[in-house]
Amino acid sequence: MDEWQGSTSVVGIVTEALRRQHTACVSPEGAAWLASASAFPRSVEALWSARPGAPSVLPCGTAFDVVNLTALFGRRVLEQLWASGPGSGPVAVHRGRVLLLVAPGTAQRLPALLGWEEWGRAVPPMLCHGSGDAVTLPALHEDPGAAPPESAGISRWVVAPDTAHPWLPGADILLWACVRAVRTAPAQAPSALVRVPGPV
């Protein structure tokens, strides 16, 4: 199995973030910021009041863009951002993928920057959601009746928005974190390599 596509425990990502004392619940200020991504923030807030445990679909490109990574690579990028870098903005896990909320414009710039980077080809495929796209984000508060954290379909905040003006990394910081994550990844075991015999 490809190393980047290997399964990883979503709960491990959540536990690591909580160990660093980040909130997993959206504050009222964070909720107002998320709602500001919509053309109709009051409608979004009314929906959250009626169904606080439901995920939300919000447009990208105004308040934030989203970089959507595989769980394993997403965890490695987060490790780089928090261990050696400036930290991250809000981060969610949805359907086994890591969603990094990033500065508007990042979705357009990051793929181009990776294309110029020597290590760019080693970065696993990612989805960049910007202007014209919408993403599903977790509920503001965890539903007590939700699936256990080990469930692959779990949707939750790892680092929840807790301010009206969260800091969001841009394309340059994400490029740095992706390259560091690739360069510091454990080498693939030789036994995993397949040797193709030549002609006899």
Domain positions in the chain are 9-184
Comparing C-alpha atoms, which of 79, 121, 122 is closest to residue 100? 79
What local confidence, expressed as pLDDT, does residue 152 receive? 52
* Cβ proximity of 130 and 62 under 8 Å: no
What local confidence, expressed as pLDDT, does residue 23 receive? 59
Helical packing angle, 171-183 and 106-116, nearest 10°: 40
Prediction pTM value: 0.79
Which segments of the chain have a pLDDT < 70?
1-24, 143-153, 187-200
Supply the DSSP symbol for 151.
-
